[in-house]
Structure 1
Amino acid sequence: MTAPTDTPQADDAAPAAPADRRVRGPAPRFDLRATVLPLVSLLVFLVVWQLAAASGLWNETFVPYPSTVWRAFLEVSTTHDGTRGYQGFLLWEHLYMTLRRVLAGVVAGVVVGVVIGLLMGTVGWVRRVLEPWLTFLRALPPLAYFFLLVIWLGIDEAPKITLLALAAFPPAAVATTAAVAAAPLGLVEAARALGASRAEVVRDVIVPSALPETFTGIRLAVGIAYSSVVAAELFNGIPGIGGMVKDASNYNNTPVVLVGIFAIGISGLVIDALLRAVERRTVPWRGRA
């Protein structure tokens, strides 16, 4: 009679690792270059700027020292010697008004652009009718029709927001049209073969496949609208960053002009980063399918 073997039973086995540990991928590594390289480029820019200002090749009115621009930034951001900011408004108030105008104009332009682009991409006759007008509008610089908007709408907020909406509309419409037209034909035909209606094909196949390129168009629309801020705030633009830049340029106040330019550029970088974060969450399949 053989002796019983000490075979381990199932309940004596080592406990399995938690499910989340088994499926969790490697922790994301911190990319040092992504932080160091921008800082190095900023340092190089400041050094070159300082050297250009100190060289004496240009008058300080045209190329002020970085320290002069920093003092201008502090002056327009605070109350000093009884003067509040620039023209009675602090820098953040100028920036707030500009961002509010950009937001209103971009939302209107992008919404209309995406809807028109969806129609142009799915309905052939709509594309043939609207495409020449869309191309015509794309070719116009904002200043070409801004004065007409002022004549029609006055000098208050309406022409500014309308200008920004018209600037944001074409890139959103063009990108959406191209993305819808490039939807995978195989998936569209498969959905129709399974009995999907036209509306269901658009909702479940065309729109998801077009979202990545549509987001690219939205980012372009925001950038183009933001680059039109100074034009939009030519008249009655204070408070507003564009109005501040325009007013300071009238008096050759280069430091304040540079403060406004940096405020526009940095806030534009922040807005674009937010849009990219929204895009990553909304269309996580971009580049993977």
Structure 2
Amino acid sequence: MAIMEKAAPATRWRRPTSVLLSIVVLLAVWWALAAAEIWDPIFLPSPGRVWDAFVYSVSEHNGTPGYQGYYLWEHLWASLWRILRGLFWAIVFGVPLGVVLATVAPIRAVIEPYVDFLRALPPLAYFSLLIIWFGIEDSSKIWLLFIASFPPITLATLAGVRRIPGEYLESARSLGAGRLQLVLHTVLPSAVPDVLTGIRIAMGFAWTTIVAAETSNGIPGIGGLAWATKKELLTDVAIVCVITIGLTALALDAVLRLVERVLVPWSGRQP
């Protein structure tokens, strides 16, 4: 045990070094391939060219900011705000529905197949319908992100509630807990780890959906900017968008991991 306790800090210290080393290797390989000009710069721009595109995206030029009239952070915030709203409503409806599906078998038999059906649909399959129903403004995009996020949260909550040991519920009932008290003080706290896992998965789905959501009237938006680059073959700008989306998604996932460690330290999950 002592050996394991001594080894753990060393492992934690090695992680940042390993990540930094992998980034350096990636940049070196990328730079070497670009310098060798194996492919046209349109297909593989150099790291320096991508950096210049990033600098351009956060600068003002002849009175016009960045690309498409917005700074990069304005594009990012527009997308993030859409994602947060879609995810918020997915949590509001998905968590209660997951509890109901787990505790009421007849409702689960009727509703769960529809949740599975939504989970299996690719976003572009129904985005046209959402545009017809809600227009090309933010409403259709938020609905799309909601539908992408809703199933994983619902199903994760359902799984978490069904995994609660029966003796926990019986103990709460024996202490006089009513149905509402049972849900609030036993069911939901026990299911929190699975709910948070569902939210993390849903956040990932939302980020993979944002480009599809912003293909129509998506400016400002980081997905809309990435989509717009295809018209002028701005590969360097597209890479800036991809890196920005990836780093933001990782940062948000780290926040959710931190929330998980704070709320459910007993879950035993490793950071």
1:113 matched to 2:113? The reply is no
TM-score under structure 1 length normalisation: 0.87
Task: Name the residue aligned to 2:240.
Answer: 259
Contact 1:110–1:221 (Cα < 8 Å) also in 2: no
Task: Name the residue aligned to 1:122.
Answer: 103
- Identify the match of residue 184 of structure 1 among 165, 174, 186: 165
Deviating runs (4+, > 4 A) in structure 1? none
**Between structures 1 and 2, the one with greater helix share:** 2
Contact 1:143–1:231 (Cα < 8 Å) also in 2: yes
Sequence identity (%): 47
CA offset at residue 287 of structure 1?
Answer: 1.6
Task: Name the residue aligned to 2:145.
Answer: 164
Q: Distance in 2 between matches of 1:194 and 1:107?
A: 34
Contact 1:110–1:165 (Cα < 8 Å) also in 2: no
Task: Name the residue aligned to 1:154.
Answer: 135
3-state SS in 2 of match to 1:223: helix
CA offset at residue 194 of structure 1?
Answer: 2.9
Task: Name the residue aligned to 2:223.
Answer: 242
Q: Distance in 1 between matches of 2:124 and 2:192?
A: 31
RMSD in angstroms over aligned alpha carbons?
Answer: 1.7
3-state SS in 2 of match to 1:92: helix
- Identify the match of residue 20 of structure 2 among 15, 31, 39: 39
- Identify the match of residue 221 of structure 1 among 186, 199, 202: 202
Task: Name the residue aligned to 1:4.
Answer: none
Per-residue CA deviation, residues 111-151 of structure 1 (Å, 9 max, x unaligned), is 21111101111111111111110011011000100011011
CA offset at residue 42 of structure 1?
Answer: 0.7
Q: Any unmatched runs of 5+ in structure 1? A: 1-25
Task: Name the residue aligned to 1:23.
Answer: none
Give the number of equivalent residue pairs: 263
1:79 matched to 2:68? The reply is no
Q: Distance in 1 between matches of 2:43 and 2:268?
A: 46
- Identify the match of residue 120 of structure 2 among 111, 134, 139: 139
Q: Distance in 2 between matches of 1:45 and 1:252?
A: 23
Task: Name the residue aligned to 1:16.
Answer: none
Q: Supply the AA of the counterpart residue of 1:287.
A: G
CA offset at residue 56 of structure 1?
Answer: 2.3
Task: Name the residue aligned to 1:203.
Answer: 184
CA offset at residue 82 of structure 1?
Answer: 4.4
Task: Name the residue aligned to 2:3.
Answer: none
CA offset at residue 102 of structure 1?
Answer: 0.7
Task: Name the residue aligned to 1:8.
Answer: none
Task: Name the residue aligned to 1:64.
Answer: 45
Q: Distance in 2 between matches of 1:105 and 1:259?
A: 24
TM-score under structure 2 length normalisation: 0.93
CA offset at residue 83 of structure 1?
Answer: 3.8
Q: Distance in 1 between matches of 2:26 and 2:128?
A: 37
Q: Distance in 1 between matches of 2:28 and 2:118?
A: 42
Per-residue CA deviation, residues 241-274 of structure 1 (Å, 9 max, x unaligned), is 0010011122111000011111101111111111
Q: Any unmatched runs of 5+ in structure 2? A: 1-5
Q: Distance in 2 between matches of 1:82 and 1:202?
A: 57
